[in-house]
A and B are shown apart, each in its own frame.
Chain A
């Protein structure tokens, strides 16, 4: 059974960094990519990043280039998303979601991690 289990809620100050983890289980990791999607309070979904767990290739939208880093730890079967230079506007629930490489839909999602940025 597929499971994506994310790390717990975080509270950070403006200017700090946050690193969220997503531990995967129940499937062949090398065949899948992991996406990161966020949702600000009361707002819609926003795609942030993509990593191919098989070869480590990454892709970021222009908005997040230089501020987001995603990695995959193969021995730990865990994806990480690090966001730097936090602002209050980064307060959101951050989700990981997997997709089979070569497809463009996200079939399993983590439970979400609330990151609150406040002074």
Chain B
């Protein structure tokens, strides 16, 4: 099972919106609405930000939103803040059934 494809880095200025893509196949991202997104600050464990494509856990800012079209899922961060600077990973349940993570995206706040 190959890792899902994410851009290596995305950057934006405070207050701007950015979008991170996560591309898989019909065996994973395209198969179900079971894509989740995790934020990871350096030296810390990942934190769940979005589940089932577009749902936010309690306590996660509504500046984070998710969507999916075909084999590509996306995470959008609006009103970018300094604290959003971190690595972001998508994850998908697969037909195997197993899980697969994305390659990861480093978000930089300029």
Hey, which bits of chain A sit against chain B, CB under 8 A?
Answer: 35, 37, 44-47, 50, 59, 61-62, 95, 97, 103-107, 109-112
Bound-state CA distance A111–B45 (Å) is 6
A-B contact pairs, 28 of them (CB 8 A): A35-B99, A37-B46, A37-B101, A44-B3, A44-B101, A44-B102, A45-B46, A47-B91, A47-B98, A47-B100, A50-B98, A59-B97, A61-B98, A95-B45, A95-B46, A97-B46, A104-B34, A104-B51, A104-B99, A105-B34, A105-B48, A105-B51, A106-B48, A107-B51, A109-B45, A109-B46, A110-B45, A112-B45
Bound-state CA distance A35–B36 (Å) is 15
Bound-state CA distance A103–B97 (Å) is 13
Whether B30 is near chain A, meaning CB under 8 Å from some CB there, is: no
Residues of A near B97 (CB, < 8 A) are 59
Bound-state CA distance A13–B91 (Å) is 32
Residues of A near B89 (CB, < 8 A) are 44-45
- Could you say which interface size class chain B belongs to? 20 to 34
Residues of A near B100 (CB, < 8 A) are 47
Residues of A near B103 (CB, < 8 A) are 44
Q: Is the CB of B101 within 8 A of A46?
A: yes
Whether B84 is near chain A, meaning CB under 8 Å from some CB there, is: no
Contacts A45-B104, A47-B98, A47-B99 known; list 12 others, CB within 8 Å. Answer: A37-B101, A44-B3, A45-B46, A45-B91, A97-B46, A104-B34, A105-B48, A105-B52, A106-B38, A106-B46, A109-B46, A111-B45
Residues of B near A104 (CB, < 8 A) are 32, 34, 36, 51-52, 93, 99
Residues of B near A62 (CB, < 8 A) are 1
